[in-house]
Amino acid sequence: MTDVALPPHRSRTRDVLGVLSKNRLAIVGLVVLLLLGVVALFGEWLAPHSPTRTNIPNRLEPPSLTHPFGTDELGRDILSRVLVAARVSLQVGFIAVGLSLAVGVTIGLVAGYYGRFVDTALMRFMDMVFAFPAILLAIAILAVLGPGIRNAMIAIGIVYTPIFARVTRGSVLSVREEDYVRASRSVGASGPRIIVRHVLPNVMGPIIVQTSLSLAFAILSEAALSFLGLGVQPPDPAWGRMLAEARGFVRVAWWMGVFPGLAIVVTVMAFNLLGDGLRDALDPRQKSVIESRGHLL
């Protein structure tokens, strides 16, 4: 009977963070998102003016020291509105994506692990949902449920469910064939136990990446729905809504549209950069040459 000195303790999470920290763009994305988080939480306090108080004499003022982003057609401070709207956008994004994450991942796990007709039935249904153009489907759902921020979250959640189901199922199909799943069956573990304990943790990588990319899409969708008047209702500020209101003033007050637009672009970019970075960091092929000892040596 033998045993040797333990190798130094190395955690996988730290490996992933190590690779991620070397990806400069992903770090930029992460920092921007952290700032956005702060803005979302403390928007009201950070805002120099009230986001909803109208001030008709000051309407359509170009950017200045008192109003760095200018004012809109009712004299409201655009910087304040952009800051406060961050909360709504992120909130809609997170809740909608949380919804599609929960439903989609569950469907993907069940379909992928049990296979056969369970798989066929669930995934064909997902394909049907997926077949509609995303924004049209969301509009259709809102037409049924009625406009409003809560329904917008539900609609966006439904629209992005199939992506999670697909991504999850794809990974489950390969994990299902791993020996450790078979080993777990060989000791008598039940299907649900195996799914929760072995399959789910091992398919988290692609799901995390998909979550970050979907957040970007969900925020865009919310902007689009609010632009169409189906999401956030006035007078609450929302980036999409502000864009819609700016439509009639493009020629006279460019700042009305540019700043909320930039907010959307920056947010979406940040999520995408982080998502790409996570994808690279979670990919085991990123491991350095020497760590695959025995393979090359």
Cα angle, residue 197 at apex, residues 193 and 200 outer, rounded to 5°: 110
In sequence order, what E strands does 44-150 have? Answer: none
In the complex with other proteins, the residue whose CB is nearer, 50 or 202, is 202
Asked whether the beta carbons of 259 and 78 are under 8 A apart, the reply is yes
In the complex with other proteins, the residue whose CB is nearer, 7 or 57, is 7
In the complex with other proteins, the residue whose CB is nearer, 52 or 202, is 202
CB of residue 22 to other proteins, shortest distance in Å: 11
CA distances from 269 to 31, 170, 205 (A): 12, 26, 20
**Cis ω on the peptide bond leading into residue 284 (within 30° of 0)?**
no
Cα gap 123→177, rounded to integer Å = 20
CB of residue 288 to other proteins, shortest distance in Å: 6
Three-state DSSP at 217 gives helix
CB of residue 32 to other proteins, shortest distance in Å: 28
CA terminus-to-terminus distance, the chain: 27
Note the residues at the interface with other proteins (CB under 8 A).
Answer: 1-4, 6-7, 9-12, 178-180, 182-190, 193, 197-198, 201-202, 288-291, 293-294, 296-297
Cα angle, residue 173 at apex, residues 113 and 202 outer, rounded to 5°: 85
CB of residue 202 to other proteins, shortest distance in Å: 6
In the complex with other proteins, the residue whose CB is nearer, 65 or 297, is 297
Q: Count the neighbouring beta carbons within 10 Å of the beta carbon of residue 114.
A: 15
In the complex with other proteins, the residue whose CB is nearer, 2 or 133, is 2
Cα gap 92→151, rounded to integer Å = 10
Asked whether the beta carbons of 75 and 59 are under 8 A apart, the reply is yes
In the complex with other proteins, the residue whose CB is nearer, 10 or 251, is 10
CB of residue 31 to other proteins, shortest distance in Å: 24
CB of residue 241 to other proteins, shortest distance in Å: 43
In the complex with other proteins, the residue whose CB is nearer, 194 or 268, is 194
Tokens of 157: 């959640």
In the complex with other proteins, the residue whose CB is nearer, 91 or 202, is 202
CB of residue 185 to other proteins, shortest distance in Å: 6
CB of residue 37 to other proteins, shortest distance in Å: 28
Q: Count the neighbouring beta carbons within 10 Å of the beta carbon of residue 130.
A: 17
Q: Which residues contact 34 (CB under 8 A, 6 or more apart)?
A: none
